[in-house]
């Protein structure tokens, strides 16, 4: 699939969209980003930032994959018996 074809299915997400899509709070998204465990948004203009939907989707799929292998999610790394935060 070409970059142009891929871009047709990609959208820009506001923080409210990210919160709804991930079921995380704004503060948890911020905390995970600060630790480098959640995708960073891209800067659209002076104060406007948005997440690429494909980046958030990839993070969700990675979380699901790790969880299905009986490990727990710890900021992008599977570990035993630890919580998400």
Which of residues 73 and 24 earns the better pLDDT score?
24
Confidence at residue 69, expressed as pLDDT on a 0 to 100 scale: 77
Beta strands, E only, the chain = 12-13, 42-43, 49-52, 72-74, 77-79
Confidence at residue 5, expressed as pLDDT on a 0 to 100 scale: 53
pLDDT digits (tens, 9 = 90+) for 31-83: 999 999 999 999 999 999 999 999 999 999 998 888 777 556 555 554 444 44
- The answer to whether the CB of 39 falls within 8 A of the CB of 56 is yes
Confidence at residue 65, expressed as pLDDT on a 0 to 100 scale: 86
Confidence at residue 54, expressed as pLDDT on a 0 to 100 scale: 96
């Amino acid at each position: 699939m070409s970059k142009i074809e891929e871009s047709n299915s990609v959208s820009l997400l506001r923080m409210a969209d990210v919160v709804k899509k991930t079921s995380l709070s704004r503060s948890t998204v911020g905390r995970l980003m600060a630790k480098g465990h959640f995708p960073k948004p891209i800067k659209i203009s002076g104060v406007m930032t948005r997440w690429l939907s494909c980046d958030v989707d990839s993070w969700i799929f990675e979380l699901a994959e790790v969880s299905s292998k009986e490990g727990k999610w710890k900021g992008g790394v599977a570990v035993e018996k630890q919580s998400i935060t």
